[in-house]
Amino acid sequence: MTDPFAPFRALSFDCYGTLIDWETGITQALDPWVRRHDLDVSHDQLLACFSTHETAVQTEQPTARYPEVLAEVMRRVGEDLGPAVTVDEAESFGASVGDWPAFDDTAGALARLRTRFALIILSNVDRTSFARSNRRLGVDFDRIITAEDVGSYKPSARNFDVLINELETLDLTPPQLLHVAESLYHDHQPAKHAGLSSVWIHRRHAVEGFGATPEPTADVQPDWRFSSMAEFADAAGV
């Protein structure tokens, strides 16, 4: 039987939404504020509001560290929903990333994939926030590239240019890299523009909408689609 993943020697991962359950993390971090003000807002509405403002802030402030982005996002969410957000509330939300849980299958799947592929992180956060999340992931990555390192946020092409340039340090070429992510907007669309093959970990397969991520701005077709990391590891034969 032909192995469809035979050409690949490395996997690059989005982290938040793919490995870390960022939607649960976001809503858990915002719930105390929502309850304090007795807001009549669903988690889906909260995530959609978050998505709109996160995209705007990352575009306006591409060199801001992710905790600063989150703090400003919460302030703007407060402006939309009514209650003013205090400095302490905004800073607490900005610092919450390390508390966001990993998906149940993440650590096991990464450990399995590690036996076959080099593993790279391409994440829209800062180094400190990712270091805290990395403790939940259970593996040492061969390379870690964050928005803080690049000075921009995905879907900027710059982030994927840095990823491709980093391959030389691993003695790899772009055709040997497979990008693995949930977000069509942040990851699959720019990965395709960069000429990379991609795997869609469709964590939201059982629910409608795009949650905390915007809709892609163009049609994008990942090369493979799985509903979980465990399903992908099974397909990779590890």
The CATH number of the structural domain formed by 10-21+101-235 is 3.40.50.1000
Q: Are 181 and 198 in contact (CB under 8 A)?
A: yes
Beta strands in the chain (DSSP E): 10-13, 118-123, 143-146, 177-181, 197-201, 224-226
Hey, which residues does 123 pair with through a beta bridge?
Answer: 146
pLDDT tens per residue, range 101-159:
999 999 999 999 999 999 999 999 999 999 999 999 999 999 999 999 999 999 999 99
Residues of the chain with CATH 3.40.50.1000: 10-21+101-235
Residue among 26, 20, 37 nearest 70 (CA): 26
Rounded Cα gap, residues 191 and 173, in angstroms: 14
Q: What is the mean pLDDT of the chain?
A: 96
Angle, helices 66-81 vs 22-36, to 10°: value is 50
pTM higher than the cut 0.85:
yes
Residue among 173, 174, 186 nearest 222 (CA): 186
Residues of the chain with CATH 1.10.150.750: 22-99
Q: Which positions are catalytic?
A: 14
pLDDT tens per residue, range 35-66:
999 999 999 999 999 999 999 999 999 999 99
At the top level of CATH, the class of 22-99 is mainly alpha
